[in-house]
Amino acid sequence: MIDKLTQRRSIRKYTEEAIPEEKLKTVLKAGLLSPTSKNLHPWEFLVVQDRKLLGELADCREMGADMLKGAAAAVIVMADTQINDVWIEDCSIAMSNMHLTAADEGVGSCWIQVRNRNSKKAGVTTEQFIKEMFDIGEKYAVEAILSLGMPAKERGPVVLDEKLWEKVHYGKF
């Protein structure tokens, strides 16, 4: 597992190649298998593969979403906030599982934060932008988007910075 964690990198540049359907399904399966509080599964996943829509979706953030213009797909992760009060955590676990699984499948991915962000459209939050674009109901909150595509280039593994061990505390802070 540690080897897989070091191999996972945020990928923002993709080839024109489509993601093989089986690989996309495996990524989605990782999200569906994610643990949730009380096993309530508040999340919903909206898969976007239309290149024109992906290009428009890139405007959902002031910055940090332009990779969607070259992506083969995106998974919008949202939750029914009426199901439980820890939907943010449940969505984050699903995002992490899909992110790691994409890397394991050789698919590039990048987490695009939605909550508490603004779109390129003046006075419109990222969440409002997405909800309007895809006609998402009021009871849903959008947590994040996972951009997906076949990597344009390979990135080396992450090397653990030994100074990070200073962030580990035993017994008391």
Instruction: Report, in angstroms and rounded to the nearest whole number, the Rg of the chain calculated over CA atoms.
Output: 17
φ/ψ (deg, to 5) at 113: -70, 140
pLDDT tens by residue, the chain, 173 residues = 898 899 899 999 999 999 999 999 999 999 999 999 999 999 999 999 999 999 999 999 999 999 999 999 999 999 999 999 999 999 999 999 999 999 999 999 999 999 999 999 999 999 999 999 999 999 999 999 999 999 999 889 899 999 999 999 999 99
d(CA 30, CA 12): 21
11 inside domain: yes
Q: What is the pLDDT of residue 129?
A: 98
Angle between helices 21-32 and 87-104 (to 10 degrees): 150
173 inside domain: no
Nearest-CA neighbor of 112 among 70, 154, 155, 77?
A: 77
Q: What is the pLDDT of residue 154?
A: 87
The CATH code of the domain that includes 107 is: 3.40.109.10
Q: What is the pLDDT of residue 73?
A: 98
pTM attached to this predicted model: 0.95
Q: How many domains does the chain have?
A: 1
35 inside domain: yes
The first and second tokens of residue 5, run together, are: 């964690």
Note down the domain range covering 12.
Answer: 2-167
172 inside domain: no
